[in-house]
Amino acid sequence: MVMNRSSSLLPEQAKKIHLGVIFGGRSGEHAVSLMSARSVLNVLDLNRYEIIPIGITQDGRWVSEEIPRATGRTSVLEALQADLHHPEGNAIAALIPVTLLPEPSRSGVVQLLARINNSLVPLAELDAIFPVLHGTFGEDGTLQGLFELTNIAYVGAGVLASSVGMDKGLFKDVMRAYRLPTPEYHIVTRQKIETQMDQVLDEAEGVAAYPLFVKPVNLGSSVGVSKCRNRSDLLEGLLDAARYDRRVLIERGINAREIEISVLGNEDPIASIPGEIRPGDEFYTYQAKYLYDTSELLIPAPLEPGLAIQMQNIAIQVYKAVDCAGMARVDFLLDRDTNQPYISEINTIPGFTQISMYPKLWEASGLPYPRLVNRLVELAFERKRERDRTEYIYGGSA
């Protein structure tokens, strides 16, 4: 359950916190990011934060708007939304190209720089960053590495947890090392799929009996995921998954209930009550998650109390095993025949719309959406203070 915390971990608030919110991104989950960002932007307290929206277009350009803004705080979001549906339009043209330089600031405040007349000029100060990006180049540690170089506080997991959590193969290797239960799996490369398909099919069928699931190793939101009941399905699924990543995961299919648990914290994380997803599709596909209102969310999940506590404890073990921070959602497959929970994956930047499972589980656990967002910013500053205690220059004699 959620613990009440009376003292704020934010810096002295004589002034508003300049919070950069980054969304969009060069990923198959670009549209999902825009949905999450809209909810976060709408709930942020304007008396507490000066919000600096930073969009990343589908081709990787960073854009923002003039600060202070006369228009609404979501104009960058609206431009990226328009560009998503009409890329031939000029929605992005009215925005300003921006960047962050990968160097630490002496003052602890990072400058967001705008490119004007072929020169970089300061556009806004940033005290912290809230990344609302899903998938490649946002959730995989690459962006977190930039934040580390700039030495700014940021919401969520660091480089290590982000990259391990994003890579389904490496994540499963870590789970095995910690003896945490995860379904049998096998990894193949795109090159091998394209050049040795018969061998790949044989190897895949050696993992387990059908059905098998095929997934891109580095992607989320069920993009490129297929349930394969025979060799023909498997061939099609492998080719589809290889469109989205150079490595593909083949995993034993389980007749399972889909249980999710939200985790929050840094060194001493806590777990929400479990929730269950009953997909409107055969499994929790992209369409079932975001396009069709046919899936059912059960909060709390109908579980025996002892099993619920067991799964909460496992979720925290998973979180700590990858050195996660801030937030994550741990997804389980609960075998209907044996009641054995298996770890499916960890999402270090889970879906963040107000109807997404991560915030809904915390709301049901006693932490409403606005307080959850504030708490995540507090944890970002807490993690930054801990990071700043590390000495990077050795003063000993040779």
Q: What is the pLDDT of residue 107?
A: 59
Of 224, 141, 159, 139, nearest in space to 190 by CA:
224
Kindly state the tokens that stand for 109. 């405040």
Q: What is the pLDDT of residue 382?
A: 98
Q: Edge to edge, what strands does the sheet with 212-216 contain?
A: 185-189, 247-252, 212-216, 226-228
Q: Domains, the chain, ranges and CATH?
A: 17-156 (3.40.50.20), 184-252 (3.30.1490.20), 256-387 (3.30.470.20)
Half-sphere exposure of 357 (CA within 13 A, CB side): 32
Q: What is the pLDDT of residue 2?
A: 41
- Do the bridges between strand 110-116 and strand 275-278 make them parallel or antiparallel, or are there none, so unpaired? unpaired
Q: Edge to edge, what strands does the sheet with 110-116 contain?
A: 119-126, 110-116, 96-99, 62-64, 49-56, 17-24, 128-132, 153-154
Backbone angles phi, psi at 210, to 5 degrees: -65, 150
For the chain of 398 residues, list the mean pLDDT of each consecutive stretch of 10: 40 77 92 94 94 95 78 76 88 91 77 86 94 92 96 97 95 97 96 97 96 88 84 96 94 96 98 92 51 76 97 98 98 96 96 92 97 98 95 73
Of 50, 57, 49, nearest in space to 22 by CA:
57
Element at 372 (helix H, strand E): helix 369-388
Q: What is the pLDDT of residue 56?
A: 96
Kindly state the tokens that stand for 299. 């909060």
Q: Is the pTM of this model over 0.85?
A: yes
Of 290, 311, 289, nearest in space to 300 by CA:
311
